[in-house]
Structure 1
């Protein structure tokens, strides 16, 4: 698994463009495919909150990925982590880690590819999924996905090993493409919610907790996302060239 994946930058850019276009065009729709795909970046975002909270002394009660459009409209969220934090650093780290996690995961994915240690990325992904399954109160969907994944993996490994290598490669391309496109979508979203005066997004919550103006958190998150977008774009363009 370490050396079999050869990155196809064109494929990543095509998947990224399609996902970005669908997300913008069908933003308020009930398109099932988008709900399934959004599971990936939303999971990383909420995992960032939850894991950072627990790592710095807080408690994690639940991680929820909101699947239905109706519930998304009611909660105004695609997912959320229910935590109990302590005042000070624990609250700060918990709040700031949500928007940081997807860029970090994308960076790790590319780094693992560059140094031929892709197995390390799959281990991280597996541990994140296990953590989510343990913490979430809605276990039916992840359990079904886990059973499907294990069953499919067993059948492919037993009967179609060469196809399995191709699927692993395509899945890696897909994850990178979705994370890359979602960075651009998130960049657009956080700018919009800030100028709309939204008081529920992470930057506004950080501002309440630290008394630092939300504009500075906006600039910080924008800077991180632009840096990740630039790094990924440069890597893909270098491969094409």
Structure 2
């Protein structure tokens, strides 16, 4: 009876692995996407551009907030909500593209929760590139599925991850059971576009945190909160996640050669 259950399951798992294991890295697609992301982010005050910027920022911002949420979940804290700000007006009003409402049990928890948000995008960028090189790109796709399910479980905006899950399931079904000559091209393009958005977010995060860290004005942000909690200068925390981000980009770049 168990064999009758596991045999089809094993077949579909293998089908999933085979369908998402032949993705190719395209440096030009990743680089151009990241440049467009940064340019549009800096032009987001223009009427039409602001809506495009919100759309392009959704995936990398979600990864950033999921980094905070996963850290809270793993280290014994609580995740009360993962909220994405999808309106340009609301983003301008709140100064945020998204936020995760989390609680930690102690200072160590808070440190990891904060750090994971800032290193999650460059970490996912490196993993996405590394897994392709090792012919394990299906793991990256599986991680994205898991992230979407986790997002659905923890957010109060259920309609957003629900739409994402419907799109992913439908697309996955079509790719696996009704493939066409352009299937692998579409998969590779989407995969590389996501990596490009993560690279753009990494660049943009370094730029923004650098400006805030070395600004003459005192601004309230995660770095200042870390300083208040640990009494360690903001520049120390900036150096940690900036160094990690640069290292991930450097390692990912060298995977191409």
**What is the TM-score normalised by the length of structure 2?**
0.85
2:231 is aligned with 1:211: yes
CA distances 1:98-136 after superposition (whole Å, capped 9, x unpaired) = 101111111111110111011111111111111011100
CA distances 1:70-123 after superposition (whole Å, capped 9, x unpaired) = 211222111111112222211111111110111111111111011101111111
2:111 is aligned with 1:92: yes
| Partner residue, 2:30 | 12
Q: Distance in 1 between matches of 2:230 and 2:66?
A: 22
Over alpha carbons, which structure has the higher Rg? 2
Q: How does 1:28-47 map to 2 (within 5 A)?
A: 29=47, 31-47=50-66
The structure 2 residue matched to 1:115, chosen from 128, 131, 134, is 134
What's the offset of the Cα at 1:198? Answer: 4.8
What's the offset of the Cα at 1:153? Answer: 3.7
CA contact (8 A) 1:157 1:164 kept: no
CA contact (8 A) 2:83 2:155 kept: yes
Mean CA deviation greater in 133-142 or 2-11: 2-11
2:245 is aligned with 1:228: no
SS at match of 1:137: coil
Gap regions ≥5 residues in structure 2: 1-18
What's the offset of the Cα at 1:158? Answer: 4.5
What's the offset of the Cα at 1:192? Answer: 1.3
What's the offset of the Cα at 1:27? Answer: 5.1
| Partner residue, 2:184 | 165
Cα separation, partners in 2 of 1:77 and 1:198, compared to 1, 3 Å: farther
| Partner residue, 1:64 | 83
Alignment coverage as a number of residue pairs: 237
